[in-house]
Amino acid sequence: MQIGTTVNQFLIEEQRRLGGTDNDLPALVNDVVVACKSLSHAISQGALAGMLGSAGVENVQGETQKKLDIISNDIMIAATERGGYLGAMASEEMDEIYPIPAQYPKGKYLLLFDPLDGSSNIDVNISVGTIFSILRCPAGVTNPTAKDFMQPGTQQVCAGYALYGPSTLLVLTTGHGVNCFTLDKSIGEFVLTQANLRVPVDTREFAINSSNSRFWEKPVKRYIDECLAGKDGPRKENFNMRWVASMVAEVHRILNRGGIFMYPRDTKDPTKAGRLRLMYEANPMSFIIEQAGGVCSTGRERIMGVQPTELHQRIAVILGSKNEVDRVVAYHTEG
Ligand code: AFP
């Protein structure tokens, strides 16, 4: 019987191929993978296990937490806090960083995650995901604080997401390309199903929440209006639109067939630089998209080049097929 390449085998073989000797990173990713397998089961139970609905409390973002937001956060912590690979972790669902408890060994990595992205979809059975990013603890730091997490996206050593859809997928990069694994429930392992994913440089499909159009800045409005004008407009092409309201699902679609995803800065709340969070949404997704040949920008600068100042800071996100993102950036430059 042929068993595919598991995530752990893939990472160990990648280390061997690259001459790496760090077995902690594959082991840490394996702990994250265990959390994603557990989450996949919990999410698939839905109402049967009383998993749906609101938890009746708000998170640091001021958003009402779903029961599964809290459960998924707890699962990720429980799966990763004991391994000895982390100095601390940070989550969309926790105000402050989570230092590794004294009873467990500490390690050289920092883990950041959005444990349940797209959770507003969970009660209506639409795909959701988990996004994670791994940074190194700064040299000599044994008790990391929030300031040790303030590293630009270019410092990530690994990023990935799990997509809980018709099948459960894990997409991963360690800086050497992007690979996709599918959960084979008959053996309880994610096995390699797509190697070296590449984002097509061109697309005729955009993803944006158009209900915000009255708040958009001029360059974004110009780009979308041109797409909507179709063959009779300046683009001389018809465009399609998608909006799932789960970033993980949008990014996965773009990885597979191209596209441009936009959650730009807008005037809806001038105090916010955007809706999405830099550290555990924009940066890991940017690492993945860039590793697959795509482009990720705020419209004015490369997302992974942004120096973070706060753990939960928000940022504008325009990512996907190179030629379309470049066009939107050019429109921002033109003003
Ligand atoms: P939730 O996790 O609160 O559902 O937000 C999902 C998300 O962060 C991202 O995954 C979506 O692309 C985006 O927000 C959807 O935002 P809108 O609800 O404004 O469309």
Q: What is the CATH number of the domain that holds 166?
A: 3.30.540.10
Q: How far apart are CA 248 and CA 252, in angstroms?
A: 6
In this prediction, residues 279-308 reach a mean pLDDT of 98
pLDDT at 54: 76
The number of the ligand 1 atom at minimal distance from the alpha carbon of 92 is 2
Residues 185 and 113 in one domain: yes
What pTM did the predictor assign? 0.96
Do 161 and 12 sit in the same domain of this protein? yes
Q: What percent of the chain has pLDDT over 70?
A: 99
247 lines ligand 1 (CB under 6 A): yes
- The verdict on 156 and 274 lying in the same domain is no
Q: Are residues 69 and 176 in the same domain?
A: yes
DSSP state of 278: I
Q: Return the ∠ at Cα 213 (arms to 208 and 218), rounded to 5°.
A: 100
164 inside domain: yes
Q: How far is the CA of 4 from the centre of ligand 1 (A)?
A: 33
Residue 209, SS3 per DSSP: coil
Look up tokens 């096995």; give the residue.
Answer: 191
Residues 64 and 211 in one domain: no
Q: Exposure of 4 by Cβ count < 10 A (0-12 exposed, 13-18 middle, 19+ buried)?
A: middle
Q: Are residues 143 and 275 in the same domain?
A: no
Classify residue 182: in a domain, yes or no.
yes
**Which of 174, 194, 214 represents a domain boundary (last residue)?**
194
The pLDDT assigned to 34 comes to 98
What is the predicted pLDDT for the residue at 56?
77
Alpha-carbon span 191 to 181, nearest angstrom: 5
Mean pLDDT of the chain: 95
Q: Does ligand 1 have an atom closer than 6 angstroms to the CB of 118?
A: yes
Name the domain boundary from 194, 218, 243: 194
Q: Are residues 90 and 230 in the same domain?
A: no
- Strand bridging mode 98-99 / 86-91: antiparallel
The DSSP bridge partners found for residue 134 are: 111, 158
Q: Identify whether residues 127 and 172 lie together within a single domain.
A: yes
**312, 281 in Cβ contact below 8 A?**
no
Asked if residue 124 lies in contact with residue 160, where contact means CB atoms within 8 angstroms, the answer is no
Our count of domains for the chain comes to 2
- Tell whether 2 is covered by a domain: no
Express as a percent the part of the chain with pLDDT over 90: 87
Residue to substitute in 73, 117, 121, 243 for testing ligand 1 pocket (most ligand atoms within 8 angstroms of CB): 117
Supply the range of the domain harboring residue 312: 205-334
Task: Please report whether residue 200 resides in a domain.
Answer: no
Q: How far is the CA of 186 from the centre of ligand 1 (A)?
A: 32
Residue 158 neighbours by CB under 8 Å, 6+ apart? 25, 29, 133, 134, 172, 173, 174, 175
Q: Are residues 117 and 179 in the same domain?
A: yes
199 assigned to some structural domain:
no
Same domain, 223 and 83: no
Calpha distance 106→230 (Å, rounded): 55
Query: For residue 315, what is the domain's CATH number?
Result: 3.40.190.80
Could you tell me the two tokens for 3?
A: 């068993």
Give tens-digit pLDDT for 206-265.
999 999 999 999 999 999 999 999 999 999 999 999 999 999 999 999 999 999 999 999
Query: Do the domain assignments include residue 24?
Result: yes
246 lines ligand 1 (CB under 6 A): yes
How many angstroms separate the alpha carbon of residue 245 from the centre of ligand 1? Answer: 5
Neighbours of 303 (CB within 10 A): 27
Point out the domain boundary residue: 142, 174, 194.
194
Nearest CA to ligand 1 atom 1: 118
pLDDT 10s digits, 309-329: 999 999 999 999 999 999 999
Please check the confidence at residue 129 and state whether its pLDDT lies above 80.
Answer: yes
Instruction: Report yes or no on 46 lying in a domain.
Output: yes
Please state the atom number of ligand 1 nearest to the C-alpha of residue 248: 10
Residues 177 and 273 in one domain: no
**281: DSSP letter:** I
Nearest to 261 by CA among 304, 296, 212, 214: 296
The answer to whether residues 305 and 152 touch, using CB atoms and an 8 Å cutoff, is: yes
Q: Are residues 112 and 246 in the same domain?
A: no
**Residue 1 located in a structural domain:** no
210-246 b/e with 16+ CB inside 10 Å = b? eebeeebbebbbbbbebbeeeeeeebeeebeeeebeb
**Mind listing the pLDDT tens digit for each residue in 49-99?**
776 777 777 776 777 777 888 899 999 999 999 999 999 999 999 999 999
